[in-house]
Chain A
Amino acid sequence: MNPLFEQFIIESRELLEAAGSALLRLEREPAEPGAVNDLFRALHTLKGATGLFDMPAFTRLVHAGEDALMAVRNGRLALTPDLADVLFRLLDQCAHWVDRLEAEEVMPEGADADSRRLEEALRTHLGEGGASGEATALDETFAWAGQLTGAERQALAAGLRPGVALTAVAYDPAPDCFFTGDDPLDFCRRIPDLLVLRIEPVGPWPDLASFDPYACALRFRALSAAPKSTVEAVFRTVPDQVRIASLPQEALPASLRAKPASPAPRAQGQTMAPASADPAALVPAILREQVRILSLGGSADEIATRRASVARVAGNILAALGRAGEHAALEAALAESEAAGDSGPLARHIAGLAEGVSAGASAPLRPAEAGPDGGAEAGTGSEGRAGRRALRVDPERMDRMMALVGEMVVAKSRLPHLARLAGETRGDGLAQGIREAYARIDGITGELQDAVLRLRMLPVSRVFDPLPRLVRELSRRLGKPVDLTLSGGETEADKDILDVLNEPLLHLVRNSLDHGIEPPERRQAAGKPETGTIRLAAFQDRDGVVIEIADDGAGIDADAVRRKAVDQRLIEPDRAAGLSDEQALQLIFLPGLSTSAQVSELSGRGVGMDAVRASVEQAGGRVEIASTPGQGTSIRLVLPLTMMITRVLVVETAGEPFGFPVTQVRAMRRVPLEEIRSLKHAESFVHEDSVLPLYRLRRLLNLPGDEGAGHRAESVLVAELGGQRVGLVVDGFRERTDVVLKPLTGVLSRLRGFAGTAVLGDGRLLLVVNLRELL
């Protein structure tokens, strides 16, 4: 992909995200000007970026959004929930386009129609009308422009240019204007390109005795060939006393309209967007613009400054055209202007240059080949980018770095062995030296590993951010008002872990709203506040990152879950009856179980809690659930900090070390032999009032020997898998440690029951067990 396009994809995602959160803020606090400005700016910048590529539908849609926001900002339009919906849809549409653009680099088919639909929806909100009303008001105010005297007609005819609208001014100074320091006649004199000026008494003259010489009794009517905005600038201090309108020439009597001269002068530079203009046409256009700059009003200082920059630009243009020899004449014109304090001579000289160039512009101009300075970009790049917030790194490069750190951990573990060898075979200080070097390398490796891991860490807010939007939409659709509180968004976790979290979180929040939170009337009847609460909290604990989703809804009825599971033949009726409420809750993790009476449109069917559990466990984590009927449900996702480093509990069996991810380990126990019950071949034991199945690691892995003989109790590891606990007999427990897990490759990859291998600190190879596969 073209790097510029890549940049565009990244930037537009950021802008759309910023726009989304600003829109949420705006909806919550419509009075806050910051939100509407942020939103407006994000769309504005996005519009500029889309314009660089050929995607007119995208640009148009963003533009339409910008227009609507402008109206909101000016107070012409209220941000109703419906309008917010349309804007959210607009952002979604854009996000969708960005995704497609990233994948296919072209806008999807139908983008045009999609854009028009949303544009139409926005227009409905903006409403029509206004324009026609303004037009009739103009007619009355400026009726005089159609009834000019002969002299006025002549002046007008001389100054009119074809196709250029006139600007009409109706200025009624306030009677006390002299006291506020206004000089009405001076204002009128400063109207650029003034063609007609009429000064009239406001009403019949009073008799001398009651005449007040300090009150303004005049009004002013003017026509100018300058654009409306230029004229408005003159009157910017008295906007309440003046009406200024653009008057198309068609509004004038036919005899007054300018007739196009036979070789139509190239007046485009003034009003047309030159972006699409032929670069050759730029020369006269830029020159003419300099003339216009010289005609602008302002303080003497401003005007002198403009003269300086215009003279330099005109000189540069001559140089660019290879006409540096004409520089002297330009200098002379500038000197004349400076001396007289009047930009006229310079303006006339440059206007002459513009004429000359456009007359002779038939020869094609083409940009010169890049000269000897072609490689000039060196040196300025890095400092120019200092404003970036973060460095973007390809995740693959980071993974490669992590893998190398892993290799280093393995490589360094050979050093103690070498030290031992040296100590046995030599009497000098070599062994000590190696040990010291090892200690140092060990420390640095640890820090390096930590630093690389931090590179991959992102705040949890990344997965929290889309939730307010989701909740807002669902709560509107379901008619259930809900407060969402998020805390601990700054908690950091590995990017891969966050990616895993994304879907489950959306699902859980959706579930809470759909099945957990009751409709307002039912909540009221139950004595709860009408507005439900969903709380999300993230924090770090010993095992890794914990995310809790708690609602104050109806809770889960354990009996209903039992019935459902039996109905759907997921469990035998007598087994279901034997389950404690806590155990029954775990049934919702069974594939295919849906607890709501009616399967709702929102949460869908089938893919439910089992999918949540599967993805969390795949990342090495676990899901816990607790619910009190009538009071709410709380679900905990416990995930390792990173998938690159796995914290394992090392156990020993048949003389070999094996690892278990600590997120799966619930307890380590010594279970007396007499407490182990045996039914046929299946063994079980009681743990915290529950009967758990007991397996023997040695048998599961087909290892030789028997742990049974000679001791009175078994070392049992209590592991939790998908809400179900099992016991596992091992020979003994060792340390907990962090390892870099390497997946099994080559022939080994066909081995079932292992998540990967790692190297222990003493250099021994550790096999990390995948219990789910093993059982």
Chain B
Amino acid sequence: MSETLVPVRVLVVDDAVTVRAYTRQVLTADGFAVEEAVNGIEGLERALAHPPDLLIVDINMVKMDGYTMLRVLRQEPSLRNVPAMMISTEAKDSDREQALLAGANWYFVKPVRPDALTAAARLLTGRLLVVPASGGDA
């Protein structure tokens, strides 16, 4: 099973520089192409201009928060089924639910372990996750 040669594109929307840098570092190391946006409005613009394969969106941001961004984005035909992951420091189930209601497919509580982040990104974008057990592949 070979992976595609076209890089899988991830759009990271977060207003915290350090968090963006972290996400970028972890995902680029795993072969993703990472783009960044600093708030919901910029995130929308980028996503519209060039629909990504995965959105990773923070909740609490100035100008436009992550919920609003996802809601607006989901109304766009080209973006309605783009896999979206929300990441926030809030661990309450109500926040998780808000995220899902807004259109997220998955919710991580910050901080996310690098292996969990890459695994989730691979799952949500369909990049091969399992390395077949030795000799298991006929």
Do A52 and B7 touch (CB < 8 A)? no
CA distance A310 to B106 in the complex (A): 10
- Chain B residues 21 to 62 lying within 8 A of chain A, measured CB to CB, are 21-22, 24-25, 28-38, 42, 58, 60, 62
B-side interface residues, number (CB < 8 Å): 77
Residue from A363, A366, A379 within 8 A of B33 (CB atoms) = A379
| Smallest Cβ-Cβ distance to A62: which chain B residue | B89
Knowing A8-B18, A11-B18, A45-B15 touch, does A286 contact B122 (C-beta < 8 A)? no
Please report the number of residue pairs spanning A and B whose Cβ atoms sit closer than 8 angstroms. 223
Knowing A309-B80, A369-B131, the reply to whether A282 touches B120 (Cβ < 8 A) is yes
CB-CB under 8 A from A321, the residues of chain B are 129-130
What residues on A are CB-neighbors of B111 within 8 Å?
A: 48, 51-52, 275
* B31→A373 contact, CB < 8 A: yes
Q: Given A379-B33, A384-B36, A387-B38, is A286 in contact with B124 using a C-beta cutoff of 8 Å?
A: yes
Q: Are B81 and A312 neighbours in the complex by a CB distance under 8 Å?
A: yes
Residue pair A320, B91 in contact (C-beta under 8 Å): no
Instruction: Indicate whether A103 reaches chain B with its CB closer than 8 angstroms.
Output: no
CB pair A4 B25 closer than 8 Å:
yes
Q: Is the CB of B129 within 8 A of A309?
A: no
**Contact: A320 with B25, CB < 8 Å?**
no
The answer to the question of B66 belonging to the interface, with a C-beta cut-off of 8 Å to chain A, is: no
Q: How far is the CA of A4 from the CA of B27 in the complex (A)?
A: 14
B3: which of A309, A373, A384 is its contact (CB, 8 Å)? Answer: A373
Chain B, residue nearest A323 (CB): B130
Q: Specify which of A47, A233, A318, A387 lies most central, judged by the most chain B CB atoms within 10 Å of its CB.
A: A387
B-contacting residues, A271-313, CB 8 Å: 271, 273-277, 279, 282-283, 286, 289-290, 292-293, 296, 298, 302, 305-306, 308-313
Nearest CB in chain A: distance from B112 CB, A: 5
Residue A262 at the B interface, CB < 8 A? no
Is A154 interfacial (CB-CB < 8 Å)? no
Please indicate which of the listed interface residues B34, B83, B123 has the most CB atoms of chain A within 10 Å of its own CB. B123
The reply to whether A320 and B31 contact each other, CB–CB distance below 8 Å, is: no
Report chain A residues within 8 Å CB of B138: none
Known A7-B18, A310-B105, A363-B133: A322·B1 in contact at CB below 8 Å: yes
Instruction: Indicate if the CB atoms of B17 and A365 lie closer than 8 Å.
Output: no
Interchain CA distance A49-B9 in the complex, whole Å = 24
Q: Which of A145-153, A223-231, A651-659 contacts B (4 or more CB under 8 A)?
A: A223-231
A133 at interface (Cβ–Cβ under 8 A)? Answer: no
Measured between alpha carbons, how far is A370 from B21 in the docked complex, in Å?
19
Number of interface residues of A (CB under 8 A): 76
Asked if A372 is an interface residue, CB under 8 A from chain B, the answer is yes
Q: With contacts A4-B25, A7-B18 known, is A311 near B81, CB below 8 A?
A: yes
**What sequence of 0s and 1s flags, for each residue 208-233 of chain A, a beta carbon within 8 Å of any chain B beta carbon?**
00000000000000000001111011
CB distance from A251 to the nearest CB of B (A): 18
A274 touching B116, Cβ below 8 Å: yes
Contacts known (A286-B105, A368-B131, A370-B29); A316 close to B112, Cβ less than 8 A: no
> Is residue B64 contacting chain A, with contact meaning CB distance below 8 A?
no
A45 pairs with B16, CB closer than 8 A? yes
Residues from chain A with Cβ under 8 Å of B127 in the complex: 319-320, 368, 371
Task: Say whether B81 contacts A296, CB under 8 Å.
Answer: no
A385 is an interface residue with CB less than 8 A from chain B:
yes
Residues in chain A near residue B118, CB distance under 8 A: 279, 367
- Nearest CB of A to B16, in Å: 5
Do residues A309 and B82 form an inter-chain contact, with CB atoms below 8 A? Answer: yes
For A306, the chain B residues whose CB sits under 8 A away are 103
Determine which of B9, B19, B93 lies in contact with A271 in the assembled complex, contact meaning CB atoms within 8 Å.
B93
B107 close to chain A: CB less than 8 A: yes
Identify A276's interface contact among B5, B100, B113, B124, CB under 8 A: B113
Q: Across the interface, do B7 and A48 meet the contact criterion of CB distance under 8 Å? A: no
A275 with B110, Cβ < 8 A, contacts A286-B120, A373-B8, A387-B38 known = yes
Of A4, A227, A317, which contacts B18 at CB under 8 A? A4
Contact present for B106 and A275 (CB under 8 Å): no
Flag if A273 contacts B91 (CB, 8 Å): yes
A239 to chain B, nearest CB (A): 14
B12 to chain A minimum Cβ distance, whole angstroms, is 8
- Chain B residue numbers with a CB within 8 Å of A369 are 131
Most chain B CB within a 10 A radius of its CB, from A7, A308, A315 = A7
Known contacts A49-B19, A380-B33; A367 and B115 CB within 8 A of each other: yes
In the docked arrangement, what's the CA distance between A383 and B49, Å?
A: 13
- Complex Cα distance, B30 from A700, in Å, reads 70
**Which residues on B sit within 8 Å (CB–CB) of A49?**
16, 18-19
B135 at the interface (CB under 8 A from A): no
Decide if A376 touches B28 in the complex (CB within 8 Å).
Answer: yes
In the complex, residue of chain A having the shortest beta-carbon distance to the beta carbon of B4: A373
Which A residues lie within 8 Å of B82 (CB)? 309, 312
In this complex, what residue of B is CB-closest to A304? B80
Contact A309 B81 (CB under 8 A): yes
- Which residues on the A side are within 8 Å of B122 (C-beta)? 320, 367-368
Complex: chain B residue closest to A165, CB-CB: B93
Which B residues are in CB contact (< 8 Å) with A366?
130-131
A273 to B118, CA, bound (A): 16
Contacts A44-B89, A45-B15, A279-B119; A289 near B80 (Cβ below 8 A)? no
Kindly report which residue of chain A lies nearest to residue B133, judged by CB atoms: A363
Residue of B nearest to A319 (CB): B126
21 contacts between A and B (CB under 8 A): A45-B60, A48-B110, A51-B110, A227-B94, A232-B94, A275-B109, A279-B118, A289-B105, A292-B100, A305-B81, A305-B103, A310-B105, A313-B105, A316-B124, A367-B119, A368-B129, A371-B128, A372-B3, A376-B32, A377-B34, A387-B37
In the A-B complex, the 6 residue pairs with the smallest Cβ-Cβ separation, listed nearest first, are A376-B7, A316-B126, A229-B94, A279-B119, A319-B126, A371-B3
The residues of A with any CB-CB pair to B shorter than 8 Å are 3-4, 7-8, 10-12, 41, 44-45, 47-49, 51-52, 227-230, 232-233, 270-271, 273-277, 279, 282-283, 286, 289-290, 292-293, 296, 298, 302, 305-306, 308-313, 315-322, 363, 365-377, 379-380, 383-385, 387-388
Binding site for A on B (CB under 8 A): 1-9, 15-19, 21-22, 24-25, 28-38, 42, 58, 60, 62, 74-75, 80-84, 88-89, 91-94, 97-98, 100-101, 103, 105-113, 115-116, 118-120, 122-133
